A and B are shown apart, each in its own frame.
Chain A
């Protein structure tokens, strides 16, 4: 049976890049279309599969009531129910990779939101230096960098949280950058493979190979090298430039999904105060992940 593996990350940490790399393993002559990926496990928080499989209308439920039912949906999907049976792939994929931004939390009834072992066999947790996440998140959320930092420091934050309107996606709890990562790293339900964005950038093929080994998906050296070439950041940017990206922020002048993608660009994008705010809140997790603190050291530039 197809194995389910979560691709779990805080937003703007390289999740989509890794998905693009995996999707391009099957590409032969040309890069996979970023708007029509052959391997499309979707995102855990998508609303339509919930309604489809439960038969009820999620818009009649509160966020908490939805959370109580989400484990049932993930169990069903992991056991092979397609979220859209009309589009069931002809040949079953060896591994179903599903993007997740939800923190690893418990429902109000005390069970894992993502159904523990019943929902997936493991999780690839992708992390990125929070100082690089902040400017990217500001771009994505259309906020200032200061507001993005406030969001990353807020242990009650989330996506799709309002109760006065309907979103395409279900609520995703994002209890701060550190809180999100610790929820995944310290849960004991499923094995975790940790990937740092910076390592993925420094050695893309090597990182991808380890990811696939963890997930139990075989790939040849040629397939991996081709995927690295086809999902190169500049290549993804070029596709977004010419035809747009369906997962990008809602149409808005100048806002791109594949924005910069560099490691360490925060030195040019953050003020000393902004970097200090991030470090003050997240130092323990940054140290745990090997992100060096700038501390009171002078920064390249301010303003």
Chain B
């Protein structure tokens, strides 16, 4: 078995999980990953999506030509690989979409977000695939902010105080173009899949302890009518924004967790703040975005003001 920490959970896996942070043999692993068999359908699904089904405590995900994944109780991931798939095809999905679904199953507040550490606080960048989460986290890494998580960020909401972001110290996942534009070739590790020009990238520094959330930014492209900048939506809009930036909003509905996200949004709005970060999708403008963020962190008291 191989042992990892992903989103603060210990994972025992029959197969090597690239991009995940290896850890010592835990007494009891939170999650196990093992090879099949996986049924083609669930016995009593409560909802059937295009390539997935959910039932009480079960999710079945069928990715054609790659694998079927069966998630049980948020504790077990069974996979049955297609004959045409290689191991990297399967593991790319396990450490990505499948683990994100598992976090929903475990009732975490699972956000589609990358996160970095600023003075002991977790700063989250939420957005759909392509919004620039990983690229922004990578650029902040180059400025010395350590990586907390990439693409998926699990939060737990304590009875009082700031929500806690769970680290996974995992590697960033970046497209060849981003690696090139950010001059990160030296940190490039393996390809996610043989057929993709997307790579695991070692962050300069990673945080491995849970951190209270300092701010949540929802990324938005600078297109009319939105100009680059940071603004704070009202609390009602912020609540909707958080739900929409769940890792998979559809699961929040199907798993009847809307109230949990409502409470999480209230807790975040009260302790950290949920903001819109509107930025240009343009590498040449990245320094502007980083400068805007650092000024905002000074205003929020997360960073000391420049002399």
Binding site for B on A (CB under 8 A): 35, 47-48, 51-60, 62, 65, 68-69, 72-73, 75-76, 84-86, 162-168, 243-246, 248, 250-251
Contacts and interface: CB of A to CB of B under 8 A. Distances in A.
Contacts of A86: 240, 243-244, 249
B193 interface: yes
A69 B51 CA distance: 9
Contact of A168 (B130, B176, B192, B198): B130
Interface residues of B, number: 43
A165 B93 contact: no
18 contacts: A48-B128, A48-B129, A52-B248, A52-B249, A56-B51, A56-B93, A57-B97, A59-B175, A65-B65, A76-B50, A162-B177, A165-B177, A166-B175, A168-B221, A248-B224, A250-B223, A251-B222, A251-B280
Given A55-B51, A60-B93, 10 more contacts: A53-B49, A55-B52, A55-B251, A60-B96, A73-B50, A166-B129, A168-B221, A244-B224, A250-B281, A251-B280
Interface of B: 49-52, 61, 63-65, 92-93, 96-97, 101, 128-130, 151, 175-178, 192-193, 195-198, 221-225, 240, 243-244, 248-251, 253, 280-282
Contacts of A165: 175-178
Contacts, number: 108
B40 to A, nearest CB: 15
Contacts of A65: 64-65
B175 A72 contact: no
B225 A244 contact: yes
B223 A246 contact: yes
A56 B63 contact: yes
B129 A72 contact: no
B97 A56 contact: yes
Given A53-B50, A84-B244, A164-B176, A245 B64 contact: no
A248 B262 CA distance: 35
B50 A243 contact: no
A85 B225 contact: no
A176 B128 CA distance: 31
A248 B212 CA distance: 40
B224 A245 contact: yes
A298 B195 CA distance: 51
A55 B96 contact: no
A54 B50 contact: yes
Contacts of A246: 223-225
A72 to B, nearest CB: 4
B50 A72 contact: yes
B21 to A, nearest CB: 20
B193 A60 contact: yes
Contacts of A56: 51, 61, 63, 93, 97
A9 B116 CA distance: 43
Contacts of B151: 57
